[in-house]
Chains A and B, each alone.
Chain A
């Protein structure tokens, strides 16, 4: 990660205005969005959007042709190009031919993408942004920090300073007054402008229409007052049918700002009359700029399903800490990372792709049904393919790929780490766990790993068998979780085997784009775990379970390795997470929890992979309540804890505040115990609580249930 980039993160997380505004907004957004979608089947709706946008992405040429024919038949002039330079030149040519001195613009990310304003200004044309947020940042000489709310990073005091200079009058920071000043100041600009430039939220091939949405009403003025209107539209905005406009408009305002509809929607089809009786000089530019290449890429085609609502920014636990400027100058947040990699260049995404913690919150809310985290992983993989893995990581993976060496080092670490241990925590772990920062204590490596303890556990001989996939954390840091798991499964009539040759699930390598390493890990594990005839392969780590159920397969597929695919699929069939299997045993009457206990209040933290990839959230809650705990839900129970594997090592300045927020939400419930199903989350949250000093016990569900089985 570049030094400049690290500094920009440092600046952002220490900017109280920014984190305050974004934090408040993200909290309100979740509630308001849910309200806006009341009575609507979101899954059905986004299924339809994904389908119609995917169709469009697969037929970009045809739809562009059709759009051009229909718009031109209605009197528009359509210019098509793949080159941003040609877009700028075309706009300047139209301006020159019509003797244009001033331009008014309504908000358009496409014009930001091609850096249109400085180009026109250099040619002596005055360009006025009219969206309030865009105008503010134009006056401040900045770039948008959010796709929908460009000036969200600024305070009313800063805005009042800017406006005061602009109108030569000392203004207070009264927001309604500031808005009025903008109205009065911009009104003459609108009326005097020779040309209006807009973007386009949707372009309809069937009719040649463009759809513009605003809340302020500026797009209505931009498209009505000047005699020339140029609309710059990225070809990913094309849809086939006019009726489909309603489908997108049902989701876009709800997802963007939690509104049922924006104040104004204009659907423009061809020329309209000007106030002097002439016809509008209407130009529509269909811009490609690598969108066709994206459509031809089997993996990235789905990114064209984006309707630019920015909900992936609004729910991102990272974005709300760092804001948009860290991401670059144009597109920001999750989808912005992907668009930057394409519309700019892959290399430009090198730093920002690393901001993604892979929590999956964006994937859940995307109205275009885009698997944003997966596409960011693909960027990571391609970067590593292009540029290789940094040397230090390479050394680590060489170790991780050699199970005996890796486990040998972990054992050595348990001894080496000893002098620093205080209770169950140490401040520094050796090797790749070395760079840890304040704010979180880390567990000591167990003196005796699970794999050694397992041999001493006496189990009854039972007919049904499950293989336990421990994962590194339970094996080497929390072996007691493994012991609890065996106790519970035995009571439920399942005997547990522990295939010795199992090793790291490959997640650390995969999250860093080192897919070859992850694939080698997968092969080792498949061989080990399928070596015995078992009904289940159970894991008490959701990240490991996701690897068993999905990632071994997808890593092989990404790399085109087919040899172990059938076995990977067989393993995926058997794989199950702890709470799901135990819930099943309880439901079938094979396992009983002690009845009639009052164990007091508990709160539950949803781990990202468990909730959003494995879709498991009710099972652990029901089990804990059945055992006698009284559930007190925390605020943002399914927001990431900031662990993200090695993420917390690479970006501690981001991971830290995310953890703090989680700790506060836990403490707010007043529950003396917080449960979770992931040893990674336990490591993060238990370490945080230890430093915090709060008297809250942080436990894996497996430990709590082991105390309550009959």
Chain B
């Protein structure tokens, strides 16, 4: 299912990576942030929303990185270049990610940033939407969000253009050892 997901997600301009360990994924993310210009200014900062991934690593080491912040506010999110969040599920047949986004911070970092980095437990890959909807109880999930590729429009002369109101890049990082719901 991972291969199908990867093909479908890349088909809609998402970038897909996969790591076995949390450490390898973290190393990739930090390197990626630096390469893409992470800096200690509001415009170049990264906001990392609360997630179980963060519980499994040494968070103190991350406090040292200039520009990387963990306190998600509306003001900070509206300016940050990077938003990092953990999505719970991936749908293989459409290349989509899904998350219980009831917590506003999860939505702020994934909707206002220019580059959204989404961590996903590899075990969260589901075949399709029916299998997702059978796992979600809307009573316990006020805001179920699905994300398929970056923000796009074709409203001017039908020309596909990436990055309107949402992120212009979606970087998906699968982690095998990241325990998730399945």
Contacts and interface: CB of A to CB of B under 8 A. Distances in A.
Interface in A219-239: 220-221, 223-225
Interface string A110-129: 00000000000000000000
Interface stretch (A180-188, A379-387, A609-617): A180-188
A220 B107 contact: yes
Given A179-B163, A217-B166, A263-B151, A132 B156 contact: yes
Contacts of A190: 165
A521 interface: no
A21 B159 CA distance: 11
A88 interface: no
A149 B144 contact: no
Interface string B127-162: 011101110001101111111111111111111010
B165 A178 contact: no
B25 interface: no
A261 interface: yes
Contact of B129 (A151, A208, A224, A250): A250
B133 to A, nearest CB: 5
B78 A187 contact: yes
Given A132-B156, A260-B8, A183 B145 contact: no
A216 B166 contact: yes
A121 to B, nearest CB: 22
A260 B93 contact: yes
A261 B148 contact: yes
A191 interface: yes
Nearest to B142: A272
A2 B152 CA distance: 41
A243 B130 contact: yes
A207 interface: yes
Given A186-B165, A243-B130, A272-B104, A131 B141 contact: no
Interface string B164-180: 11110000000000000
A218 B164 contact: yes
Contact of B138 (A151, A183, A267, A271): A267
A183 B165 CA distance: 6
B148 A269 contact: no
Given A217-B151, A267-B144, A175 B159 contact: yes
Given A243-B134, A263-B149, A264-B148, A273 B158 contact: no
Given A179-B156, A216-B152, A275 B102 contact: no
Interface in A145-201: 149-152, 154-156, 159, 175-176, 178-180, 182-183, 186-187, 190-191
Looking at chain A's contact residues, the main secondary structure is mixed
B155 A263 contact: no
Contacts of A260: 8, 12, 93-95, 148
Given A217-B165, A243-B133, A269-B142, A178 B8 contact: no
Contacts of B155: 131-133, 136, 149-151
A70 B67 CA distance: 43
Contact of B145 (A151, A204, A220, A249): A220
Contacts of B166: 216-217, 220-221, 263-264
B122 interface: no
Contacts of B167: 217
Nearest to A130: B165
A260 B129 CA distance: 11
Nearest to B78: A191
Nearest to B96: A261
B83 to A, nearest CB: 12
A265 interface: yes
A273 B102 contact: yes
A621 B139 CA distance: 57
A695 interface: no
Nearest to B91: A261
A315 B153 CA distance: 21
A272 B128 CA distance: 26
A551 B70 CA distance: 69
A498 interface: no
A392 interface: no
Interface string B68-101: 0000011000100000000000000111100001
Q: Which of B147, B156, B167 has the most CB of A within 10 A?
A: B156
A265 B93 CA distance: 15
Contacts of A178: 156
A270 interface: yes
A261 B156 contact: no
B146 to A, nearest CB: 4
A176 B78 CA distance: 21
B45 interface: no
Contact of A216 (B128, B138, B147, B153): B153
B103 interface: yes
A124 B108 CA distance: 30
B148 A263 contact: yes
B147 A264 contact: yes
Nearest to B95: A260
A262 interface: yes
Contacts of A272: 102, 104, 142-143
A228 to B, nearest CB: 15
Interface in B1-16: 8, 12
A149 B158 contact: yes
A246 interface: yes
A245 interface: yes
A432 interface: no
A25 interface: yes
A74 B142 contact: yes
B129 A249 contact: yes
A19 interface: no
B103 A273 contact: yes
A220 B156 contact: no
Q: Which of A156, A179, A245 has the most CB of B within 10 A?
A: A179
A133 B141 CA distance: 31
A218 B144 CA distance: 16
A24 B155 CA distance: 14
Contacts of B138: 74, 204, 207-209, 242, 267, 269
A164 to B, nearest CB: 14
A14 interface: no
A257 interface: yes
Nearest to B11: A260
Contacts of B139: 74, 207, 269
Contacts of A242: 133, 138
Nearest to A244: B133
Nearest to A267: B144
Contacts of A82: none
Contacts of B96: 261, 265
A152 B166 CA distance: 22
B74 A179 contact: no
Q: Which of A178, A208, A220 has the most CB of B within 10 A?
A: A220
A78 to B, nearest CB: 16
B28 to A, nearest CB: 24
B161 A179 contact: yes
Contacts of B73: 275
A395 interface: no
A275 B49 CA distance: 13
8 contacts: A132-B156, A216-B151, A220-B166, A245-B129, A246-B133, A266-B144, A267-B143, A273-B104
Given A183-B163, A220-B165, A263-B147, 19 more contacts: A25-B158, A28-B158, A150-B155, A151-B155, A155-B157, A179-B161, A186-B165, A190-B165, A208-B138, A259-B12, A260-B12, A260-B148, A263-B150, A263-B151, A264-B146, A264-B147, A267-B144, A269-B143, A270-B142
**CB-based closest 8 A-B pairs:** A217-B166, A133-B155, A269-B138, A216-B164, A265-B146, A267-B144, A132-B155, A275-B74
